[in-house]
Structure 1
Amino acid sequence: MARAGIAAVLVLTALLPAAAAPCEPAQPQSPANVTAPGLLGTWWYVAGAAQLPQHLLELLLIDHGHLRVEPGAGGQELLVTQHVAAGGRCLSSNSSYFHLPDGGGTALVKHATTQQTMGTLLNLSSEDVLLIQHQLQKERTYSALYLYARNQTVSEAQRDEFARHAQRLGLSEGEIVYAPWRQELCQGEETQDGGAPGTAPPATGPASPAPSGAGSAMNQQQ
């Protein structure tokens, strides 16, 4: 598997180039009114949607994955460990965290080392579903959206809701890829210790955009 493809499947960190500033959404979205207790625990990866053609192809490499969200040093930060199965390997990264502002407001995804904003959490009708929006600034702004849930599958209504959010960002139905869950490589607590094959150390800087494949901690491990 190409190094760029391996790096791209870590979906929370693959979209932000080092020099890019956070962008405004293509269409107004509702920021998630979330609390720390509601985010803690395991979230299973369900689907991703992306406008950038190369990244859309790389989403097809994902068989399954999950996030493990744990308390950070302060009440505003929640540590995020990602596990993604691709190319017969379970890849892990803990280079991002959720930031919950005091007094409410938009919950953000930030880079663990640089504290640069990488995405936002968006509202869905169910507390058992987590929606994460990213944007990538290249020659134009590209949107991406990721769906996680407390269970490995979601209802038809939740799929439709995800598709509507994607459409508001200019993402078509053909740009949505659901994880097939064919293998058993990154299952729950089995990868919590960071000892699975392909596990990466924390990133030392912002991940490179998926198409370039340069500068990512995951690239250096392959």
Structure 2
Amino acid sequence: MLASLTLLLGLPLALTTEPPTCTPLVPVTFDSDTIPRLLGAWIYITGASKYPPHLEELKAVKYAIFSLLPGSHEDELNVLEVMRMNETCMTRNTSKIQVFRENSTLMHVDENVTSTAQLIQNDKGFLILNHSNGNFPGLSYSARTLNVSKEYLEEFRAQLHCLGFTDEEMFFTSEKYACPLPGEKTDEGDTESQLGN
């Protein structure tokens, strides 16, 4: 009887120490509504990558906002990025995203550098991208607003843990490093310069 009672009392503790269930990343199936839903401004919140060039960039990005704009044809998007890399604010409008509907893949082309990702289904209106560069996993999380709940961030953190990332490999941006948007005045009264024009 005592052994049974000990087993029953210990069971809830054992159940709570198991690792969280990892939900699979399911790519969005592109349809006629997919691209219009992507258009507009997004704030980059967090990401992780094992791909060395992306890892270096993640370490340097302190804040980033980007806009996806219609391109020259229906399967192309123009990208306007405003970001703080370490201590420097910069604006770039030279990159494009090619859309491959047949395999729900997005390819970001910035000068001579390309990277691919799949848009991941979610019911919360976030832009979650599963980056694929060789055998190096990567995941990024962007939102329409900075007001993302801790609950959603914890869900994303859990998903990164499922992919084998540690907390030290996750990089978060902060609003305190926000850069002025193109044409906005800085505190010193100067207009922020725009790079890549």
TM exceeding 0.5? yes
Following superposition, the deviation at residue 113 of structure 1 comes to: 6.7
- Given residue 101 of structure 2, which amino acid in structure 1 is its aligned partner? P
| Higher-RCO chain (CA-CA 8 Å, sequence separation at least 6) | 1
Contact 2:115 2:132 in 1 (8 A): no
- Bigger radius of gyration among the two: 2
For the aligned residue pairs, the C-alpha RMSD in angstroms reads: 3.3
Aligned to 2:108: 110
Partners of 1:38 and 1:189 in 2: CA distance: 26
- Given residue 128 of structure 2, which amino acid in structure 1 is its aligned partner? L
Partners of 1:114 and 1:54 in 2: CA distance: 13
Query: Structure 1 residues 163 and 98 mapped into 2: Cα distance closer, same or farther (>3 Å)?
Result: farther
Aligned to 1:211: none
Query: Structure 1 residues 96 and 169 mapped into 2: Cα distance closer, same or farther (>3 Å)?
Result: farther
Q: Are 1:177 and 2:163 an aligned pair?
A: no
Instruction: Give CA-to-partner distance per residue, 1:142-199, whole Å, 9 cap, x none.
Output: 22221110002311222123223323332223311111222342447749xxx94362
Gaps of 5+ in 2: 1-22, 186-190
Aligned to 1:73: 72
Q: Are 1:133 and 2:161 an aligned pair?
A: no
1:62-101 equivalences in 2 (<5 Å): 62-93=61-92, 94-99=94-99, 101=101
Query: Structure 1 residues 152 and 100 mapped into 2: Cα distance closer, same or farther (>3 Å)?
Result: farther
How many positions carry a matched residue from both structures? 166
TM-score (ref. length: structure 1): 0.61
Higher share in helix: 2
1:17-36 equivalences in 2 (<5 Å): 29-33=25-29, 35-36=34-35
Gaps of 5+ in 1: 1-26, 202-222
Partners of 2:183 and 2:162 in 1: CA distance: 35
Which of 154, 163, 166 aligns to 1:160? It is 154
Following superposition, the deviation at residue 112 of structure 1 comes to: 6.2
Partners of 1:189 and 1:48 in 2: CA distance: 28
Following superposition, the deviation at residue 106 of structure 1 comes to: 1.2
